[in-house]
Structure 1
Amino acid sequence: MAMEGYRGFLALLVSALLVGFLSVIFTLIWVLHYREGLGWDGTALEFNWHPVLVVTGFVFILGIAIIVYRLPWTWKCSKLLMKSIHAGLNTVAAILAIISLVAVFDFHNAKKIPNMYSLHSWVGLTAVILYILQLLLGFFVFLLPWAPLSLRALLMPIHVYSGLFIFGTVIATVLMGLTEKLIFALPSYSSLPPEGVFTNTLGLLILVFGALIFWIVTRPQWKRPKEPNSVLLQPNGGAPEGVESSMAMNFGNVDKSDSELNNEAAARKRNITLDEAGQRSTM
């Protein structure tokens, strides 16, 4: 099935991938060139894993997971396969986000820095918790075949909205975190030193990536088509889509068959009457 506005979709997809990849590269350059590198020893080098893992997993990979259903080359793949890919990408993003939190807490505890006092930390931890709950909900309700169709139909709008809400929250949290880090670690931030300009540019790249993902995922013409044999329950508890129409067609066929039978019976009765009349006339 051809996608409407395919060229526009392809241009936005390539732009999103390019900007997202640049965001990861900029983050690595920032921590390796300006922040002295990476390590896992309780020092600032361990903290540097936090932005790298968040931007890589919680921004870039999560963004790809959100739009994976919209890739037209995957429309011929089974829905179960696409669900598995979607769940796998989200699982990788969740693991990287959790490791990034461990790096922050290790660094704070080693340096006797208080935990969970800033708005950045409050919103960030909330996003991680909501994301894990979202992942579990998707796994048990949409990936495994145990949940009834009525429950899936009820929770699908919530699942879609919460995924976009969490992604937007992550983007906002990352921007807060970049600003907070520069204010604490860069006394000359107000005079726009090279590191400040570079990190501000990183923030703009992340913002643009989020905007591109939101645009791609909210265009109805780029939505994955429904499978021909799929049956979806109506959220209001009505009959499944496709079932009512097939039932109506069946009932229509029954009515048509009944009328044909009645017409045939009437014709036979008329023939018998004519035959009897003919016999009487010849007697």
Structure 2
Amino acid sequence: MSEKRELPVLGADAADLESDCSKCFGLCCVALPFEASSDFAVGKAAGTPCTNLRDDFRCGIHHRLRERGFSGCTVFDCFGAGQKVSQVTFGGRHWRESPGVARRMFEVFPAMRQLHELLRYLAEALAWPQARAIRGELRRAYDDLDGLTRGSAEEITGADVAVIRQQVNGLLLRTSELVRADIPGRKKNHRGADLIGARMHGARLRGASLRGAYLIGADLSGADLRSADVIGADFRDTDVCGADLTDCLFLTQAQLNAAKGDAATRIPSALVRPGHWSLSGVG
């Protein structure tokens, strides 16, 4: 496993955008629903604690999630929303204290998770030198959004997340275009494309747009994905063995965790090589 490095964040604490389960009250294990499937061995309703959640708010099978049939948990990332809701919004009060606290926490958490995801993308956008022309707009958007996440439960649940996401996405798209403009040649556009199971071994996708693309089960082994925009792309079971993901735009740890890579897969320095990836690899 490679050494974990902090995401370069201009003027912000990177730790705020990384999940810290030790400061969270197991919100993802309670507030969110999931159905029995290949990702979850059993299903549960929203607001119902997972059977694996312990009294200390820790997962009882954290190191055996995949082998116990809970691979879906390993590809979820709250981007620090859990500890923000637990420690800031509710000041350390947890959902086991009273039904009223529980209901409000479970309403706030999904909204906070979306807001923190946007903060994470804005933080990365601020770190790209090519985005200096719009850095002021990015900075204002980040500060406004960060301020909202530190507001009251009512302010957070009352926010129109869809509108905020649309506004932020416009800035992220402009950032992507500025960064990818530095890549010579014509860039491929697979935005929102259905590439499920596609055979793209060794594909030249440097600077390509894969925004929102469905890459489930696709073969991208040995592909060149340097500086490709992969925001929202579905990497479940995508073969990235030997692929070069260096400097991918908006690639998250959850996307890496969902993919299948090996020791030869090149990843951004801010992310960690998943422990379940193969240790073999060429070159």
TM-score where L is the length of structure 2? 0.31
- Bigger CA radius of gyration: 1
TM-score where L is the length of structure 1? 0.31
Higher relative contact order (Cα pairs below 8 Å, separated by 6+ residues): 1
Greater fraction of residues in helix: 1
